[in-house]
Each structure stands twice: as structure tokens, then as C-alpha cells.
Structure 1
Amino acid sequence: MDQGNQLFTLALGLVPPWMVDDVRFTVEEKRLDLHVNFPRGSQFPCPVCGQDCPVYDTQEKVWRHLDFFQHAAYLHARVPRVHCPEHGVHLVSVPWAREGSGFTLLFEALVMAMVREMPVLTVSRLVRETDQRLWRVLDHYVAKAREAADMSEVHSVGIDETSSRRGHDYITLFVDLVAKRLLFATPGKDAETFAQFAEDLQAHGGSAEAITEVSMDLSPAFQKGAAEHLPNAQVTFDRFHLMKLVNEAVDAVRKGEALSQPDLKKSRWLWLKNPGKLSAKQSARLREILKNQNLKTAQAYQLRLTFQEIFTVQNRHQGATLLKAWVENVKDSGLPPMVKVAYTVMNHWDGVLRWFESQITNGILEGFNSLLQSAKAKARGYRTHKNFINMAYLILGKLDLRLPT
């Protein structure tokens, strides 16, 4: 072996009988081709039993490797098939690449590190490979890491949907509220998603019966799914979703009144932000509008602030008392959008009150949703649900990818 070949053999970490026996630079194409071989008479372990066996024949294969400076590097090898007396003829595994891949392990590790930080299409341009090939790499490592994921300790789960593409196209997310990791994601937002989650949970050492706390919105489909497939779970209706309903009601009151009260036009955020979040200019304008004591919007706004304050209470009994009083005040207000919310609270009373005991919310899911939508925007969308879900697992799943270094 000449010195150059020996140097590349060492650089690639090859051990006998593997060795580099030819190196070719193509300056015009900025390409480096490394040819890996083995001496005549070498033996390799049978992939089934591990017994050293003679070579039966070989197959020519090529893998893309990490760039050598500005040169795209490729490994070429005659991969042997061995003849095992017990198990017959089998293709051996090579130490630098996984079976079925056209990339070396180190190239794949680089790709996986890059796709965490930037869109797959951007990475594909940087490494000069098609994005379809890179998605297959991502799919392999995410699936492999999920196979090893342990869900045996999961007992508190948050559920929410996130938009996959424009229109009514959703992915439902199931998140471990304790470990703050994405457990499962699946297309749709119906009750069937809970059946799929329960099945996936069991496949990873968990149990649907072990789920004792669930946080979710008021979706009838989610309520049905939880009742059917998480039999021991007590449901907490997420207070952020409840607050969203109240905010929408306040804005509906404002819109209706703005027709006769010009001061209310373009004032939406004054009523939906907390007082402490308003700028000095916004605060001054709100105080000026509130001087009109007869505004229905001001009345709805005060009910909004009271509703929010109720959820600072830690005691269920006290919370129930305050919430009952709020519901009665809303009914007496004669503001139809607010009254509708009051009846919604009454119709979901147990799940609303459960918060005062469980103290769980979908806050972590709101953050997760923001991260996913940001990644989707950078990628300008994903062509398939599978791609979107794989990226969700990669970003939010806290997966142990076990990448080569």
C-alpha cells in the first residue's frame, strides 16, 4: 500500500481486511473517488451467525462521503457476499454505511445535524443532493429512534392540533406534559387519533390505562376519543383555550358596537391584551375610551379580566364559587357573545374545574406549535404529512438518534 492510500485508510478509520487501494482526483468535476478493497483470500463474518466465511462473490457499490475540502467525495467498494455452510450466501455489512443507504454514516450524521437547524431543501443545496434522498435519511433515523423511545412512565398528556397545510388540514399532537416531549403525531383531529395514540403508546412500553391526566380543548371529537381510549384519564379543559373563547366574545361585542361607537374602531388589541402588556400610548387610549361608562365593550372587557383573575386561585371550592358568580354576572349582562361562553363553561363544568386541582395546561403545546409553524414557514411547507411529522419528532421528540461521530 502506498503512503497516500495508507493515509486515506487511516482517515476513514478502516480496519483490516478493508483498505484504500486507489485514490482519484478529478479536478474539473471537483470530485474525489476513494476505492476500498480487501486482499484476496480474506474472510468476513456471516451476517446471521457471525462465523468467518470465505467470499462467494462481490457487488460493486458507491456511497457519498463527506466532502474533502471543496471536492465531493465518494467511496467505491466491492462488497463481498459470503458463503456460510449453515445459512447460505449473504451480503456482508460494511462498517462505513448502513444497509440500503447511498451515503456513508458520517455523511448522514452531518445531514441530520444540519436539518435540525435549517430546511431540508436548503441542506440539499448545500450538500448537492436531492431533498428526496435527504428526507429518506431523516425518515430512517427518526423511525429508528422512535422504536427505542420509552413511554412507560407517561401519565399526563396534552393534546392539540396544528395546521399541516393551508385549508382544513391538521396534525394532532400528543405531548408528555412532564417530560415536555412530543410522544405521537398523526394526521387528522378526530376521535380516531386517540385510538392510534393508545396503540403507539402500548408499542413503546406505555399504557392507555396509565394516563390519569389529559389537557385539551373543548373539541367534541377529542372528548369522545379521550372517553373511549383513555379510560382512567381525568380531563382538564385547557384554560388558554377557554380564555380564547372569552377573547373572541369580547371582540364580537366590540365589532357589533363599533357601528355606533366610532372610538372602538381599530381598538381590537386594547381589549384582548392584558393591561400590563399595553404600551403607554395604548393605555392612554384605553383609559380615554373607558370614560364612556355605557359601552357594552367595556362591560365585556371587565368580565374578561374577572374570568382571567379566577384562574389565579389554587383552591377548587373557591374557584367553583367564583366561576359560578361569573357565570351569573355574564347571564345578567345581556351580551349574547359573552352569554354563549358562559353556557359553554357550564356545559363543560367538571373539566373546567379540574384545572384547580391538576394545574395542567396546553401551554407547552402552544410553544411547540409555534416552533413547528416557524419551521414550516422556513421550509415553505412540506409536501407530505410524513415529512411534517418526521420534522415534528426531530424538533420536539427529544429523540436519541445515536448518530455516528
Structure 2
Amino acid sequence: MILAQAMPVKRIAELIGEHDTRLWRVLEHYVDRAREQADYSDLRQLGVDETASKRGHHYVSLFVDLEQARTVFVAEGKDASTLERFKADLLDHGGRAEAVEEICCDMSPAFISGAESHFSQARLTFDKFHVMKLLNDAVDRVRRQEQRERPELKHTRYLWLKNPERLSAQQRLILETLCPASLHLKTVKAYRIRLAFQELWEQPPALAESFLKKWYFWATHSRLEPIKQCAKTIKKHWQGILNWFQSLVNNGILEGINSMIQAAKARARGYRTVKNFITIIYLISGKLDFRLPT
């Protein structure tokens, strides 16, 4: 079991002279048995995200106990029914939907709908990393549109997506040459709007909504269509963004688990079936007690 957490099953099979399909059956048996015995009665903070199971539009949804930093459920797909399936699985493991106090997810309509239908009492917080990605995507769309007429913006994509303190000395120099007001670059304006939004997370809770209202007015009057569209999306998800100031939850733990899962998938060069993929996810991130003989 330990080997399978760090090495592709196919490689283990080659080392021990066994067919990998037999090893997968053994792994699935022990993972399924350990999950049957798992107790999720203390789950209070839930993180939800999707991860790609294979190339193309094939996903599984991850449900993570944010306090225990463990994957408690994996569902095929990323629609609203995944929340319903998780609720049923939670009941099977000693948990109660009513006991879940916080849910953190991206702004996926499917996840929102599922959370509201099956965990209506939980406070829904939109993950701030996904909110910032929304802003970054808007800035990048402004840059792509503008660089057709302003060739000096070519090859500058990451200058606008990184925080200033993470830029190299050379990148900071290039940024400084593009920022003077005399150049009238729309991308610079979009970048400053993004940086301003980022200051939201540093506001005292009592001032957060007032700050966000001022930012929203600026963004919607920016005359930059991608920024205006982004601001309207933020308005639509207003309360879930502001809920962060009470819950302080984010999916940083889940993103770390997701990275670990994708690294395992890359080492294995993909998995033959979704069942195999789900088994590996539980194995490396479920913190299961396999109760193996020593």
C-alpha cells in the first residue's frame, strides 16, 4: 500500500512479477474496506473542487474535510448530483448534512445549486483563489485584445498575472516601462483594477463590503468590457465572496491535494479506468486506516 502511494501500480507489478490488473483488484479491495470503516461524523468544514480524470472533458469531484485535510468522497462528474451523492455517502459514514457548517467551492453553478439543495444550512464561501483567477482571466482578455494594436504588449502575459513582489528584476523593469499614464494602455488600467481588488482580503470585516462597493463602481465604469463582465459575475456572487470574512476558509488545502493527485496521474501516465483513478485518490489523500498486519 505504501509503494502504491508513491509509485505507479504498473511499475510495482513489473518489480514483483505480477500482472497490474491483479494489483488493482487488491488495492480496490483494501481501499473500499477502509472507506467502509471510515468515520466522518466530525466533518464541519467542506471543500469542493473538480479535477481532471483524463484528457478532454472528463472530471471527478473531490470532497475534502478542510479541518482534517483529507479526501472524504470522490464522485464522477462535476454536476449538482455530486453533492447529493456526497450527502448519501456522508450519512453512511456517521455524518449528517445538518452538521456541515461551512462549504468552500468555486463559483460553479452546479456546485452552488447542489450545496443550496442538500446543505442549505451551511454557509457558502467562494474560494478566494478562484475569485482572483476570475480577475486574472479578465486582465488577460484585455491584454490579448489590446496587443493586436499595441505590439509592445506581446510576450508580457505573466507580468500582469503575477503579484508585483513575485516579479524578477527584469520583469519589474519591463513593467515600469509600460505603466506610464502617457502610454494610455488599457491593460495597465485593468491590472490596477485587479491589484485594487486584491486589497479586499486585507480589509477589516466591518469595512469589506464598503470597499467592495467602491471597487465595483470603478470596475463597472472602466469601459473595459472583460473587467465589467468580471465585476458583474462578482456582483452575482457577492455574499459568497464576503462570507470569507466570517468563515476564513479557502481551498488551499484542496488545491494542494489536487496537485498531489495530478502528480500521481502524471507519474502513471494516466489511469485505465476512472475507478482506478478514484482508488488512487483515496489511497494518497484519504488518510484511511488500512489496519494491515505488521
Task: Tell me the TM-score normalised to structure 1 length.
Answer: 0.71
Residue aligning to 1:129: 18
Query: What does 1:36-47 correspond to in 2, within 5 Å?
Result: none
C-alpha contact (below 8 Å) 1:211/1:230 kept by paired residues: yes
Q: How far 1:314 sits from its partner (Å)?
A: 3.8
Q: SS of the residue aligned with 1:236?
A: strand
SS in 2 for 1:140: helix
Query: Please, which of 165, 171, 177 is the counterpart of residue 288 of structure 1?
Result: 177
Alignment of 1:20-35 (within 5 A): none
Q: Select which of 222, 227, 234 maps to 1:333.
A: 222
Contact map agreement 2:60 2:74 (CA 8 A) in 1: yes
Question: Among 162, 165, 177, which residue is 1:276 paired with?
Answer: 165
One-letter identity of the residue aligned with 1:402: R
CA distance in 2 between counterparts of 1:120 and 1:379 reads 8
Q: Deviations over 1:325-355 (max 9, x none)?
A: 0000001111000000111111111111101
Give the match's secondary structure for 1:159.
strand
Q: Which residue of 1 aligns with 2:190?
A: 300
What residue is the counterpart of 2:117 in the other structure?
228
SS at match of 1:365: helix
1:154 aligns to 2:43 (yes or no): yes
Q: Which residue, out of 245, 248, 255, partners 1:366?
A: 255
SS of alignment partner, residue 333 of structure 1: coil
Relative to total residues, which structure has the larger strand share, 1 or 2? 1
**TM-score normalised by L of structure 2:** 0.98
Q: What is the CA–CA distance in structure 2 between the aligned matches of 1:176 and 1:305, rounded to whole Å?
A: 31
Q: Is 1:212 equivalent to 2:101 in the alignment?
A: yes
Amino acid at match of 1:197: F
Q: Which amino acid aligns with 1:154?
A: L
Letter in 2 for 1:404: P
Q: Which runs of 5+ in 2 are unaligned?
A: none
User: Where do 1:195-210 residues align within 5 Å?
Assistant: 195-210=84-99
Q: 1:144-194: per-residue Cα shift (whole Å, max 9, x none)?
A: 111111101101100000000111100000000111110100100011101
2:240 aligned partner: 351
Q: Which amino acid aligns with 2:202?
A: T
Checking the alignment, whether the CA contact within 8 Å between 2:52 and 2:59 is kept in structure 1 is yes
**Aligned partner of 2:64 among 156, 161, 175:** 175
**Structure 2: distance between partners of 1:115 and 1:153:** 28
Name the counterpart of 1:61. none
2:153 maps to which residue? 264
Structure 1 residues 378-401: Cα deviation after superposition (integer angstroms, max 9, x where no partner): 101011111101100011111111
3-state secondary structure, aligned to 1:116: helix
Counterpart code for 2:117: E
Indicate how the Cα distance of structure 1 residues 135 and 339 shifts in structure 2: closer, same or farther if over 3 A, else same: same
1:260 Cα shift? Answer: 1.3
Cα distance in 2, alignment partners of residues 333 and 384 from structure 1: 48
Which residue number corresponds to residue 3 of structure 2?
114
CA deviation string 1:115-153 (max 9, x = no partner): 111000010000110110000111111111111111011
Q: Distance in 2 between matches of 1:287 and 1:361?
A: 33
Residue 84 of structure 1 aligns with which residue? none
Deviation track 1:270-295 (CA, whole Å, cap 9, x = no partner) reads: 00001111111111111111125411
In 2, distance between residues paired with 1:380 and 1:119? 9
Question: Does the Cα contact within 8 Å between 2:102 and 2:123 map onto a contact in 1?
Answer: yes
| Matched position secondary structure for 2:220 | helix
The residue matched to 1:260 in structure 2 has which SS?
coil
SS at match of 2:207: helix
Query: Cα RMSD (Å) of the superposition?
Result: 0.9
* Residue 113 of structure 1, CA deviation: 1.9
Q: How far, CA to CA, are the matches of 2:204 and 2:63 in structure 1?
A: 26
What secondary structure, in the 3-state scheme, does the structure 2 residue paired with 1:311 have?
Answer: helix
Q: What is the letter of the counterpart of residue 300 of structure 1?
A: A
- How many residue pairs get aligned? The number is 293
Shift in Å, 1:262: 1.0
Name the SS of the counterpart of 1:394 in structure 2.
Answer: helix
Per-residue deviation, residues 13-46 of structure 1 (Å, max 9, x unmatched): xxxxxxxxxxxxxxxxxxxxxxxxxxxxxxxxxx
- Greater relative CO (CA pairs within 8 A, separation 6+): 2
TM-superposed CA distance for 1:232, in Å, is: 1.1
CA distance in 2, matches of 1:392, 1:132: 18
SS in structure 2 opposite 1:403? coil
Deviation at 1:313, TM superposition (A): 2.1
Moved runs in structure 1, 4+ residues, more than 6 A?
none
Unaligned runs of 5+ in 1: 1-111
